[in-house]
Structure 1
Amino acid sequence: MSQENERRYMDEQSKRYMLVLNSHFAAYRDKYQRGGDFRIYSDLLREPLPAGTAAITVPRP
């Protein structure tokens, strides 16, 4: 995994988390013409990735 992708992950309490930003969501919407509104909450929500999940590279615009 590249160093840039490695910075998007965080390991905590034996779980791996991935950073997802609004820009990632906007790029997804532009590329696939799908997706609704992006909601922002003040609390951080961490969703664990299933074991063996492949890295996802989201290109920067």
Structure 2
Amino acid sequence: MIKKLNIGLIIIFFVLTLVSTYLSLMNKIFALFALSMGISMFYSIVALSSSGQEGESD
């Protein structure tokens, strides 16, 4: 169940990044938001993958 939630979070971050990137094409103010969403998605994926590896080692 936890892995399903992790996948859902990654999908949500990915969708938000795509939406903010699309908005940044129309308005440059959203470019900073898109960049921050991309960075947060990257860190969340790294955190989830590292926690998943710890769970597998147990």
Task: Provide the TM-score with structure 2 as the length reference.
Answer: 0.28
**Higher radius of gyration, 1 or 2:** 2
More helix by share: 2
Return the TM-score normalized by structure 1: 0.28
User: Greater relative contact order: 1 or 2 (C-alpha under 8 angstroms, separation 6 or more)?
Assistant: 1
